[in-house]
Chain A
Amino acid sequence: MAVRKPRKASRKKPAAKRDARVQASDAQTIGRIDDTARRLHETIRKGRRPDLALPVRALSNVSYDARRGWLEIGRQRKVRTLSVNTVKNFAQTLRMMSLSKELIRNNDFATKREAYYISKNWETCKFDEQIESDTVMDDIEALFSVDGVAREQLRFYPEEHGGSVSGPLVVIDRDATGRVARIDCTAFGSGAYSVPSSVEELGFETDAAFVLLIETGGMFQRLQSHRFWERANCILVEMGGVPTRAVRRFVRRLAEERRLPVYAFVDCDPYGIANIYRTLKVGSGSAAHVNRFFCVPSACFLGVTPQDIVDYQLPTHPLKEVDVKRAKDALRNDPFFQRHKAWRDAIEQLVGMGVRAEQQALAKWGLNYVIDEYLPRKLEHPERFLP
């Protein structure tokens, strides 16, 4: 497929001009679907071959926009022209757009899996595997992303679990019937509130001082059941590995609308740093076209830092080959880490030590050491957190 720079006179306003925090309305989304269909239809009726110009979704087409604070997609486009070889993909893409329009009009949604099953009615156009329908969805999302349309606006929801939330926060939500619900995130006992798939319509009330994002369910449970949120006046959010788009968007809106600092508390290993934290803060390469919605640029890194391993004499495991590869890859190819010397030094320190440590390694000093000593001591100096 041809990769080309877009023509000078771009059809749409460039992405950077739009307010990143505002996602498209239903009317705008439908407008984009109609525009695309109309353009294809007119080209076909003129006897010409229509094409779709999709942004290239890869780290190679990504740059780190330090001022805005996220990985921004570049201007490379791959142009898919209608031909014998692409006719199936065109047909599937358009049927998917048509499904999306119908979902918006009916104010309904489909999970990615459901959309896959709906395609089973499309005879020869049906998808054989869900990965195929997911790819087509991503293509449509990328195509429309310049206009603030993400998959959620197309009404395709992921099956991903939402993160757990606990602490002094009231979430204002409305259910399918339109009834308003006020959800007190301190009132879940030993459980927690769970972030829904679409967070765009949620409202927040809070007096918390900051948001603490935690990598593992185990650590979240400890902090939650010992009411750490009360002691530190913070909102606890469990990420469960790389945070989902919904969690990232939830924290982003919370942080920006309530002006809350966001601190990340993850394992000290290349995955925790280069995948979980990087994706949380600046987004990912493969979803670069929607990073501006789904990242938390204000987040900073509380721990566990490589220096913590030394300072707290944490038990460690040796770095595996894939860990080292991931770390070197981050140093060499990741525009975010390349931009921050503090990070480069930290990663080099980690690779130099050749070890990794988990959050829960702090339990070596006692189960509640993390609550009584580690976190309070860290939180005294947020200015020392890694960027």
Chain B
Amino acid sequence: MGKARRAATAADLAKQQREISVSEFFAKNRHLLGFDNPSKALLTTVKEGVDNALDACEEAAILPDVRVEIQELAEARFRVAIQDNGPGIVRAQVPRIFGRLLYGSKFHRLRQSRGQQGIGISAAGMYGLLTTGKPIAVTTRTGKRSPAHHFEIVIDTQRNEPKVQRDETVKWDAPHGTRVEIELEGNWRGGQHSVDNYVRQIALANPHAQITYLGPGKRPEDAVVHARVASQLPPDTAEIKPHPHGVELGVLMQMLRDTPARNLRGCLAGDFSRVSPRVADQICEAARVATTRRPREIGRDEAERIHAAIQKVRIMAPPTDCIAPIGEDLIARALRADVKADFVVARTRRPTVYRGNPFLVEVGLAYGGELPAEEPVTLYRFANRVPLQYQQGACAMTRAVVSTDWRAYGLQHPKGALPIGPLLLLVHIASVWVPFTSESKEAVAHYPEIIRELRLALQELGRKVSGHIRRRRREADEAKKRGYIEQYIPHLALALQEILGFDDRERERTARSLETVLERTRRI
């Protein structure tokens, strides 16, 4: 027998119990944020920087001009710099934005934007700090009249607090904008998960942005410039209230507690989208709860009845001006600028709803040309214009592509895999709240409504491309037959001449007659 276990008292335990800082939690669980390994960390850092840059420009109604620079400082050591021409950041806010997790403008509202939780860029900065000990460097300027500020910030992971190491005024050429530099341990890789690929895809999904990209080891004049395809910003998207169909019971109870409204009718009509007083009455009637009840006094049972009643009452779909598609025309133009294809087509579906959240899907398709014919199709996935490069297999968009019957459209399609052929698919989901499977935002969850919409869009484009494929085959057949006629008629005429011994003029006349005869049959 070993020694008796020493029992901890509640008081002992209490000494060990303390709040876990969010930053500390994420420092230990960085894989949740996309920093699992050095190559992915490099990509995620670029991604978070570009997302922020684009969002900032768009909110300030500035056509984005984003510059991505990556320098390889040493073996496995990189410096990433993202610079935009956005509105800049007010000096007082800079430390909190870059030096604190879960601080942002996007979490508390239902509105289509790239970032959601406000973790991204500060997490990248923290990753840099953890791996290299170097602070995140930010230069920002809000306008011609104000000076540019330069900061160096580290995050105190214990307290989720920024610590400013340097704060100075500097000279900067740009009239406004922000430049973020992060030094980090990374790993350069090519292929599907590469930064190169990311830049190409982000340019595809953001045809209104100009993206300049300077990869490691490149001279400034060799920078890749993805020129702007569209000179108009995407339409501004409205912020919306939650739609009753998407609200869970717990959230509903919380809302009832927090509402400023005096009665249930007022709460329903005032805090939800698409609920008129009349609809509110219908809900109350179906739930057998008086419309005049004070929301705060509604108990669990009643809340449950209200929640069930909501599903029974017909309520208009949420407003859809809150989501902005890239648009069929722009997708097609961006695809044409990106690949040399024979056939490009795009489809934007009308917005619809999953769990009360409006969303829409759009698909672009490029076929033929220089796309590889014998490989699985290239699938580019986007959520709110952000490329998703990891976890392709786990994503609803992939599921929708795989479960569409491409054989019907003239492509090879092995069971349970991507179809094979010279095809590039761009799939985009825009929503006020994209249901990712994890915080690292790599794959979209399998909501049946989403998959259904995706499949409908894919099928529409499938029909179009199959028309094109058939037309192409017909044309190729025609050309081959045409060639046949041209190749063999002279031989037929020559053989007849040899046997029958007529002169060259007769041979030519025979050849001409033959051509007429065959041309006529060809059209039948």
Residues of chain A at the chain B interface (Cβ within 8 Å): 33-34, 37-38, 40-41, 44-45, 47-49, 82-85, 87-88, 90-92, 94-95, 97-98, 101-102, 122-125
Contacts and interface: CB of A to CB of B under 8 A. Distances in A.
B522 A84 contact: yes
A34 B499 contact: yes
Given A41-B510, A82-B514, 18 more contacts: A34-B499, A47-B516, A84-B485, A84-B518, A84-B522, A85-B481, A87-B489, A87-B492, A87-B518, A90-B492, A91-B492, A94-B495, A94-B499, A95-B491, A98-B495, A101-B498, A102-B498, A125-B488
Contacts of B494: 95
B73 interface: no
Contact of A34 (B489, B491, B500, B517): B500
Interface in B184-233: none
A102 B499 CA distance: 9
A124 B487 contact: yes
A94 B521 contact: no
A37 B500 contact: yes
Contacts of B521: 49, 83-84
A90 B487 CA distance: 12
A136 to B, nearest CB: 12
Nearest to B498: A98
Interface string B296-320: 0000000000000000000000000
Residue of B484, B488, B499 with most chain A CB atoms under a 10 A cut-off: B499
Nearest to A93: B495
B496 interface: yes
Contacts of B522: 84
A44 B514 contact: yes
A48 B521 CA distance: 10
A98 B522 CA distance: 27
A82 B498 contact: no
Contacts of B488: 87-88, 90-91, 124-125
Given A47-B516, A49-B521, A83-B518, A122 B499 contact: no
B513 interface: yes
A297 B460 CA distance: 70
Nearest to A125: B491
A219 to B, nearest CB: 48
Given A87-B485, A88-B488, A45 B500 contact: no
B509 interface: yes
A87 B490 CA distance: 11
Contacts of A94: 491-492, 495-496, 499
A124 B486 CA distance: 10
Contacts of A92: 491
Interface residues of B, number: 23
16 contacts: A41-B510, A44-B513, A44-B514, A44-B517, A82-B514, A84-B521, A85-B481, A90-B488, A91-B491, A91-B492, A94-B492, A95-B491, A97-B495, A98-B495, A102-B498, A125-B491
A95 B491 CA distance: 7
B481 A41 contact: no
Contact of A37 (B485, B496, B509, B516): B496
A271 B496 CA distance: 44
A40 B496 contact: yes
Contacts of A48: 517
Contacts of B499: 33-34, 37, 94, 97-98, 101
Nearest to A48: B517
Contacts, number: 77
Contacts of B517: 44, 47-49, 82
Residue of B489, B491, B517 with most chain A CB atoms under a 10 A cut-off: B491
Contacts of B481: 84-85
Residue of A40, A85, A91 with most chain B CB atoms under a 10 A cut-off: A91
B12 to A, nearest CB: 87
Nearest to A94: B495
A98 B497 CA distance: 9
Nearest to A126: B491
A102 B494 CA distance: 14
A45 B513 CA distance: 6
Contacts of A38: 500
Interface in B56-111: none
Nearest to A81: B521
A34 B499 CA distance: 6
Interface in B463-520: 481, 484-485, 487-489, 491-492, 494-496, 498-500, 509-510, 513-514, 516-518
Nearest to B516: A47
A83 B488 CA distance: 11
B508 to A, nearest CB: 12
Contacts of B492: 87, 90-91, 94
A82 B522 CA distance: 11
B494 to A, nearest CB: 8
10 smallest beta-carbon distances between A and B, as pairs: A94-B495, A91-B491, A37-B499, A98-B498, A91-B488, A124-B487, A84-B481, A91-B492, A125-B491, A95-B495
A37 B518 CA distance: 18
Contact of B509 (A34, A40, A45): A45
B84 to A, nearest CB: 61
Contact of A88 (B484, B495, B513, B514): B484
Nearest to A84: B481
Nearest to A38: B500
A1 to B, nearest CB: 15
A108 B416 CA distance: 65
A378 B518 CA distance: 65
B503 to A, nearest CB: 13
A255 B510 CA distance: 49
Nearest to A43: B517
Nearest to A92: B491
A87 B517 CA distance: 11
